[in-house]
Chains A and B, each alone.
Chain A
Amino acid sequence: MSPTMTETTVVTLKIDDREISARSDQTVLEVAWENGLFVPALCHYEGLGDVGACRLCLVEIKGSPKLTPACVVKVTQDMEVVTQSERLAKYRRSIIELLFAERNHICSVCVSNGNCELQTLAQKLGVDHIRYPYLYPKVSVDASHSRFTLDHNRCILCARCVRACDEVEGAHVWDLFGRGVDTRLISDLGTPWGESETCTTCGKCVHICPTGALVEKGKSVAEMVHARPRFAAMARVRSSSGR
């Protein structure tokens, strides 16, 4: 263990008035989920590093006036967390609505219709219409890869693909380019995916994508079912086999 790392201990904290004990190296989101509590999340994926990109996992932590993304905060002794409140519900709904308004989501004709984490969360959080004006950005579809397609119309910039390709596959094809609503996912520093020299065609990015943005070719409406890779289990197997 390096000297800068603090030792892992067991802490007790309160989440939604429940006494819970956890390891000090766990995040609030992990602990909440482990205890069967519902906290919505889109950018978090078990087995990948957290980046706090989507802000859906916001919770209230006693003593702080700000809302805190649960996926990037570790639990501490005597912490008091609230995961359900009117205020949180309001912000979570707004975030979902903004994601819909920011790109072109036409669920009825989407390859991921019925198999989409954004769509499912919208329903779960009670989003039945979008109050913000749709931006209708003119974005492209990259169909240059022989097996997969990237449809920017459906991308929510969660960066799950970026991390899967970098951290698990080790290829680092993807990056996010630009700022704010103009941010775009790019492959190999801006070359078409089909011309990528680094892509191994492993499909990890495709199967980890929460929406219909990264899909297998040849899928029609509602046919794209993501086979969610079990990165955390893979990592455990690798470390226990001494590699």
Chain B
Amino acid sequence: MAKVSIATVWLDGCSGCHMSFLDLDERLLIVADKIDLVYSPLVDFKDYPEMVDIALVEGAVASEEDLHKIQKIRAHTKTLIAFGDCAVTANVPSMRNLVGKKAVLQHAYFELATLDPQVPNVVVPPLLDRVRPVHDVVKVDIFLPGCPPSADTIFAALVELLEGRIPDVPALTRFGK
């Protein structure tokens, strides 16, 4: 049987969901037999493939780079999973929505800067006005809440998906878990 191609993506999150994925430990070996990891911060492929079976997306959409990335990924992915609370609800990154982008930049780059205060405009991608959950920007097929979703949750969900079934998410996890 052909292996299932998997991508993992890191938008505005703390990488905790990826760490939780690595916490699968020896179960990674069980999964590894069935999947091809074709794109991920964990591997060294630079370009997103033409078509990927499953993408696990960690993080909220907070910058212009996040936005372009997720739109491209959506167009080249069959099953897109909002992976973890930041992707599902915008979680902690969304707390800046209460004060607005301007206030955040002002505080970080002017009030706290002691030398040459300025908002960086090269290399660092510009922030969007609002931090948004992934489904606010592109269609999401499966939501996997949790901060981060536990390794057990990730494994159970992956096993279901690799068998071609839809995981029963509320039986596995919730917001904040």
Chain A residues at the B interface, C-beta cutoff of 8 Å: 100, 104-110, 113-114, 119-120, 122-124, 126-131, 133-134, 136, 138
Contacts and interface: CB of A to CB of B under 8 A. Distances in A.
B97 interface: yes
B138 to A, nearest CB: 13
B70 to A, nearest CB: 15
A130 B174 CA distance: 12
Contacts of B175: 105, 107-108, 119, 122-123
Interface in B118-147: 133, 135-136, 140, 143-145, 147
A211 to B, nearest CB: 12
A208 to B, nearest CB: 21
A122 B170 CA distance: 9
Contact of A129 (B92, B95, B145): B145
* List of 3 A-B pairs having minimum Cβ-Cβ separation, nearest first: A107-B176, A108-B147, A123-B174
A128 B176 contact: no
B82 interface: yes
A114 to B, nearest CB: 7
A130 B140 CA distance: 12
A10 B89 CA distance: 48
Contacts of A131: 135
Given A107-B176, A123-B174, A128 B143 contact: yes
Interface string B70-88: 0000000000001001001
B105 interface: no
Nearest to A124: B170
B176 A113 contact: yes
A98 to B, nearest CB: 14
Interface of B: 82, 85, 88-92, 94-95, 97-98, 133, 135-136, 140, 143-145, 147, 169-170, 174-177
Given A107-B147, A119-B174, A128-B88, 17 more contacts: A106-B92, A106-B94, A106-B95, A107-B176, A108-B91, A108-B175, A123-B175, A126-B170, A128-B144, A128-B145, A128-B169, A128-B170, A130-B89, A131-B135, A133-B136, A134-B90, A134-B94
A124 B97 CA distance: 28
12 contacts: A104-B95, A106-B91, A107-B85, A107-B174, A108-B91, A108-B147, A113-B176, A123-B174, A128-B144, A129-B88, A130-B89, A131-B135
A112 to B, nearest CB: 9
Nearest to B16: A108
Contacts of B177: 114
B92 A109 contact: yes
A100 B174 CA distance: 13
Nearest to B133: A129
A136 B170 contact: no
A129 B89 contact: yes
Nearest to A109: B92
Nearest to B176: A107
B142 to A, nearest CB: 9
A138 B133 contact: no
A122 to B, nearest CB: 6
A52 B176 CA distance: 28
Contacts of B174: 107, 119-120, 122-123
B98 A138 contact: yes
Nearest to B88: A129
B97 A134 contact: yes
Contacts of A105: 175
B176 to A, nearest CB: 3
Contacts of B145: 128-129
- Most A Cβ at <10 Å: residue of B82, B145, B174: B174
Contact of B176 (A110, A124, A126, A133): A110
Contacts of A122: 174-175
